[in-house]
Chain A
Amino acid sequence: DAMVIQNPRYQVTQFGKPVTLSCSQTLNHNVMYWYQQKSSQAPKLLFHYYDKDFNNEADTPDNFQSRRPNTSFCFLDIRSPGLGDAAMYLCATSRGEGRDEQFFGPGTRLTVL
């Protein structure tokens, strides 16, 4: 029944070692989002895809990249993780933008050693 799946749930990486987080959906939604949530802070939108159109938030660091090879999958690549990138990363989907509710995955908690 899982609709938005994130793997892994917990990821440990080393400082500077590239890491990829994955998200898949069974909803066939057009839009996929990646959020970063640091402890006690609001989830922050990093970027989103409307179909194949990539939309980067202005303040998302270049260290963060994303790929969406098909409708179902979306990846978050962190090229050189720093200690400040330790956070919960949430993936979400929606049918369209704007007024459509978002469906979230359970998140991946990233630890950087």
Chain B
Amino acid sequence: ILNVEQSPQSLHVQEGDSTNFTCSFPSSNFYALHWYRWETAKSPEALFVMTLNGDEKKKGRISATLNTKEGYSYLYIKGSQPEDSATYLCASRYTGNQFYFGTGTSLTVIP
């Protein structure tokens, strides 16, 4: 079992603030890094899947970067809105089809 760690565990920000959180993962045999957003009472929803070192992806106000050599990914939210409140999960896939989630970062955006 591999440990995928996310920090911080929870975060409260004011509407309009920009924020970021971290996903750390073992880099040996790495294959892909997934980010998901999980709103309360809804299904987790995919944000990004990244594979290459140095990858950067963007969807609206949300972007992510990937460093496969050192084993981390950052998720950034620019100008947070109340609708961004959710738990953000990362998951790391390895060769051999092993797939491990982190425990998530719970974001609350205060209007």
Contacts and interface: CB of A to CB of B under 8 A. Distances in A.
Nearest to A91: B43
Q: Dominant SS at the B interface? A: strand
Contacts of B100: 42, 45
Interface residues of B, number: 24
Given A42-B101, A44-B101, A99-B51, A105 B43 contact: yes
Contacts, number: 51
Nearest to B50: A99
Interface string B12-41: 000000000000000000011010100001
Interface of A: 4, 35, 40-45, 48, 55, 59, 90, 92, 97-107
Contact of A98 (B4, B93, B102): B93
A45 B44 contact: no
Given A42-B101, A102-B46, 7 more contacts: A45-B100, A98-B93, A99-B32, A99-B51, A104-B44, A104-B45, A107-B43
26 contacts: A35-B101, A41-B103, A42-B102, A42-B103, A42-B104, A43-B91, A45-B99, A45-B101, A48-B97, A55-B97, A59-B1, A90-B44, A92-B44, A97-B97, A98-B31, A98-B97, A99-B51, A102-B34, A102-B36, A102-B44, A103-B43, A103-B46, A104-B44, A106-B42, A106-B43, A107-B43
A38 B93 CA distance: 21
Contacts of B104: 42
A42, A48, A90, A101 — most chain B CB neighbours (10 Å): A42
Contacts of B32: 98-99
Contact of A43 (B51, B89, B93): B89
A101 B93 CA distance: 11
Contacts of A107: 43
Contacts of B1: 59
B62 interface: no
